[in-house]
Structure 1
Amino acid sequence: MTTTTTPLLPTRVDADRLLSNLERLRAIGATPEGGVTRRAFSREDVKGQEFVAGLMREAGLDVRVDAAANLVGTRQGRGGTGAPLVLGSHLDTVPGGGAYDGAYGVLAAVEVAHTLHESGTVLDRPLCVMAFSNEEGTTGTPAMFGSRAVAGCLEPGELDLVVTGQDRALAQVLDAAGGDSRCVDDVRRAPGSVAAYLELHIEQGPVLIGSGTDIGIVEGISGRLTAEVTVQGQANHAGTTPMADRHDALLAAARLTVAVPSLTGPGGVVRVATVGDCQVSPGAWNVVPGRARVIVDLRDMSEDNLRAGLDRLRAMGQEAGSATGTTVDVTEVQRVSPTPCDPGRRATVRRVADALGLSSVTLPSGAGHDAQWMARVAPTGMIFVPSEDGASHVPYEHTAPADLVRGAGVLLGCTLLEGMTT
């Protein structure tokens, strides 16, 4: 399998090598169901990092693990020192996740570096390939640790949090994985110290595959607002309490859950809205629920829309409480602001896709990515390739080999354009 050579691309990626490396990495943490489990800082995650470090060396990169346990491969440019062009993503997965989420972006970036190395192509500026640590956040600690460390956005006391399934603090787990908890602040990069950041990723959604489009040009990463809805009712006997006398907390939570989709669509204010968690107390089949808690996830590219969505959610909670004789409290627990991608980087992706004869469309990213933190440091662009069935975070996550190679070719072209200072 080969890619097409164009005047923009004096060389091309090695398709067979890229696809082979993806399969070799898939085997590290492979599950019987066909998925992959490489939780951040786990033995499998470290083994995967060591494998990719070897590929980086073969690609002519100088390799190190920084204090935040990010894997970093660098190559000097023609101008020696200076602001580097950074390509990256992550290697950790959700439990039983797919083989392409994150890993594809890292291995495609390594393949770009290998292609430049083999062809003797030297960029004007340094090239840096990064595999960020703990992007998924499945350790019971906040997600995107590595990229937040680079952006200087770690939370106070974060290193003291106990990691899920281990009787150790994050600092200890980080050190065991090759990082250095004492020097994490040294990882921080000042705005402007990175020339540009590019991240190639599977879409994790149905837009590209549904429209038959080759390349997604990401306009930005959706903001996210997480709200905890607590319903206080009155527990009582399920057999003896008349229906008219009940204060059923679950009933109120259910009314609210059913109403949440109305926050989207023509009459709504946000792009998507989800109730993804529900807990009921006392949780017995023969007791009227006295307390319920649901978690609501709102996402949109507009901060104002997220704020309006929270206001509407609170109004809906009051209506549900009044109808059921319960008290409903809606509390915002986390907000991540929308992150627009840099217009210049979007133009670069479009230019390369056009030069390669690939169709493209501009679309938002509904999922979070390391790019949203790197955007605080550098002009940032994201490239999407299709996800079959729009599936991700599942064992059957898949992207066609031809699409994987096309995406790597676009990343190569963007690297050549962004890597030149004139």
Structure 2
Amino acid sequence: MTSHTPDHGAAGAPAPAAPGGARSFHSMWNELAPIGRHADTGGYRRYAWTGADADCRTWFQEQALARGLTYETDRNGNQWAWLGDPLAGDAVVTGSHLDSVPDGGAFDGPLGVVSSFAALDELRHRGAEFSRPLAITNFGDEEGARFGLACVGSRLTAGQLTKEKAYELRDGDGVSLPRAMEAAGYDPDAIGADPERLARIGAFVELHVEQGRALDLSGDRVGIASAIWPHGRWRFDFRGEANHAGTTRLVDRRDPMLTYAATVLAARTEAALAGAVATFGKIAVEPNGVNAIPSLVRGWLDSRAADQATLDTVVTAIEKAAHERAEQDGIDLAVVRESFTPVVEFEHALRDELNRILGGAVPVLGTGAGHDAGILSAAVPTAMLFVRNPTGVSHSPREFAAEDDCTAGVLALADVLEGLACR
């Protein structure tokens, strides 16, 4: 499913008049805000290939066409809006994602996409002349909320997720990824690595709300990413024996929920000892009855650390504690690593260039959160900008960035894009 419109904003060509970046940012932000927002929780449920996702994609396409950009979707369903010739090569690309975690916040992902369009508006307002093609992108299924694997769109594009493995992905209702894509009007037979597209990218810069409080503590509005911690997801299957909750003596039970609970506590202990993080945030129970002892408790572990050795130490210790408790409780345990991303060091030359463009006084900080920029870093030079998050809360309706800080992010991104893509 690919569509194009004539490019009225070729590199160096006069562009349509546009408001400054700050003004257009707030207009777009207010327009996007209601899409996929849950009335009761105030959080967002923009899951891949659903109605809310389709509405976000329509919004993206409308923003591209309103600016006279060449619009297309690639073979993996990622959206692109081009200023200049998409085939010319050495393009500067910016953007993020529009999907969300369950009941996620408004800023994680959308801040980067909206800021990218606003930064382009700001550059046109300045009368900037482009010497390299510029693209704005929305990568699909970054959060992995529906199919359990993060960064599906960028992983497919970078060849880090094969078509065969993608076809095995299922959501909680058993719907496969290809079936979901087809229902949304996309061709699942086309998905796969896209090295030709990546070869046309000279630099990718992703703006994102900070997921933490480092900038708030330092008093800075904007920061530059140094690296992404190594991180992964592990599935723990605790199998016991279903039985009656009211008639089965405690000593006769093989209750996998007890083993799971002990493992959750062990994860917290091991992470704290190592200076890492470990979270059991998702659980599935069978038969899932109030008056039934479970036969199966399936829990998903997310763990991250500043370096590979520490992460390995933490996960190994958690698995050891889980197996020891499982043997004590008479529970069968299987652990499967479902995904893993090694440490990502953003290209130093590009990172240093961003720092130079922004005056050399911008803090450089690491992050424990994964991003499309991290996936793409193995194939193209990538960098990230962070916008201050005063509470540090993310993946929650309480996620927040102040209006002035969002404006500062737009202007910083505009400066970076001007430094990289303009004469």
Question: Structure 2: how far apart are the matches of 1:28 and 1:290?
Answer: 39
Q: Is the 8 A contact 2:21 2:120 kept in 1?
A: no
Contact 1:252 1:324 in 2 (8 A): yes
Contact 2:224 2:363 in 1 (8 A): yes
Please point out which of 402, 408, 411 is paired with 2:410: 408
Contact 1:88 1:131 in 2 (8 A): yes
Cα pair 2:163 2:191 within 8 Å, conserved: no
Q: Which residue of 1 aligns with 2:369?
A: 367
Higher alpha-carbon deviation: 88-97 or 32-41: 32-41
CA contact (8 A) 1:68 1:174 kept: no
What is the match of residue 310 of structure 2? 305
1:61 aligns with 2:69: yes
Against the structure 1 CA distance between its residues 246 and 55, is the aligned structure 2 distance closer, same or farther, given a 3 Å change threshold? closer
Choose from 356, 368, 386 the match for 1:351: 356
2:9 maps to what in 1?
A: none
Task: Name the SS for the 2:36 alignment partner.
Answer: coil
Q: Secondary structure at the match of 2:162?
A: coil
Residue 389 of structure 1 aligns to a residue in which SS? coil
Tell me the amino acid that sits aligned with residue 55 of structure 1. Answer: Q
Q: Of residues 380, 383, 392 in structure 1, which corresponds to 2:382?
A: 380
Shift of the 28–282 alpha-carbon distance from structure 1 to 2, 3 Å rule, reads: closer
Contact 1:261 1:273 in 2 (8 A): yes
Change (3 A) 1:314 1:111: same
Q: Which of 320, 338, 343 is residue 338 of structure 1 equivalent to?
A: 343
One-letter amino acid of the counterpart of residue 49, structure 2: F
**Does residue 1:229 correspond to 2:236, yes or no?**
yes
3-state SS of the aligned residue for 2:163? coil
Deviates more, 1:276-285 or 1:194-203: 276-285
Aligned mate of 2:213, from 189, 192, 206: 206
Q: CA 1:317 to 1:393, structure 2 compared with 1: closer, same or farther past 3 Å?
A: closer
1:32–1:281 CA distance, 2 compared to 1 (3 A):
closer
For the structure 1 residues 309 and 340, does the alpha-carbon distance in structure 2 shift closer, same or farther, using more than 3 Å as the test?
same
Measured at CA, do residues 242 and 74 of structure 1 come closer, stay the same or move farther in structure 2, by a change above 3 Å? closer
What's the offset of the Cα at 1:113?
Answer: 1.9
Q: Mapping of 1:122-133 within 5 angstroms?
A: 122-133=129-140
| Residue 197 of structure 1 pairs with residue 198 of structure 2 | no
- Which residue does the alignment assign to 2:95? 88
In structure 2, the partner of 1:74 is 82
Code of the residue aligned with 2:269 in structure 1: it is: S
1:250 is matched with 257
- Find the aligned partners of 2:247 and 2:49 in 1 and give their Cα distance: 52
Q: What's 1:183 paired with?
A: 190
- Corresponding residue of 1:38: 46
Cα offset, 1:217, TM superposition: 1.8
Counterpart position of 1:3: none
Q: C-alpha separation between the residues in 1 aligned to 2:102 and 2:264?
A: 27
Q: Secondary structure at the match of 2:93?
A: strand
AA of the residue aligned to 1:400? A
Deviations 1:191-238 (A, max 9, x none): 653211100011132332344332232122222222233445566676
Q: Distance in 1 between matches of 2:298 and 2:411?
A: 47
Equivalent position amino acid for 2:343 in 1: P
**Partner of 1:316 in structure 2?**
321
Q: CA deviation at 1:19?
A: 1.3
Alignment length (residue pairs): 405
Deviations 1:6-47 (A, max 9, x none): xxxxx9952121111111111233332444333222233223
Q: Secondary structure at the match of 2:157?
A: helix
Among residues 95, 112, 115, which one is paired with 1:108 in the alignment?
Answer: 115
Q: Name the CA distance, whole Å, in 1 between partners of 2:283 and 2:410.
A: 41
- Residue type at the aligned position of 2:64: M
Measured after TM superposition, the shift of residue 365 of structure 1 is 2.3
Counterpart CA distance in 2 for 1:311 and 1:95 is 29
Alignment-derived partner of residue 7 in structure 1: none
**Quick one: distance in 2 between partners of 1:107 and 1:380?**
19
* Residues 206 and 40 of structure 1: CA distance in aligned 2, closer, same or farther (over 3 Å): same
Closer/same/farther in 2, CA of residues 64 and 239 from structure 1, 3 Å limit: closer
Partner residue of 1:392 out of 370, 391, 394: 394
Distance 1:279 1:415 in 2: 45
Mean Cα deviation higher: 272-281 or 164-173: 164-173
CA 1:173–1:330: 2 relative to 1, 3 Å: closer
How far 1:187 moved relative to its partner?
A: 3.9
Residue 152 of structure 1, CA deviation: 2.3
CA distance in 2, matches of 1:38, 1:74: 24
Preserved contact between residue 58 and residue 114 of structure 1 (Cα < 8 Å): no
Name the structure 1 match of 2:13.
none
Separation of aligned partners in 1, 2:176 and 2:340: 25
CA offsets per residue over residues 124-177 of structure 1, 9 Å max, x none? Answer: 221111111222223336332321232123333356457648886533543554
Give the alignment's TM-score, normalised by structure 1.
0.83
The residue number in structure 1 matching 2:58 is 50
1:37, 1:94 within 8 Å by CA — same for their partners in 2? Answer: yes
Aligned match for 1:28, one of 35, 38, 41: 35
Shift of residue 336 of structure 1? Answer: 2.2
Distance 1:331 1:42, change over 3 A: closer
| Matched letter for residue 256 of structure 1 | T
State whether residues 279 and 292 of structure 1, in contact with CA within 8 Å, keep that contact through their aligned partners in structure 2.
Answer: yes
286-295 or 216-225: which moved more? Answer: 286-295
What's the TM-score, normalizing by structure 2?
0.83
SS in 2 for 1:354: coil
Distance between the aligned counterparts of 2:223 and 2:385, measured in 1?
6
- 362-371 or 198-207, which moves further after superposition? 362-371
Report the Cα offset of residue 339 of structure 1. 1.8
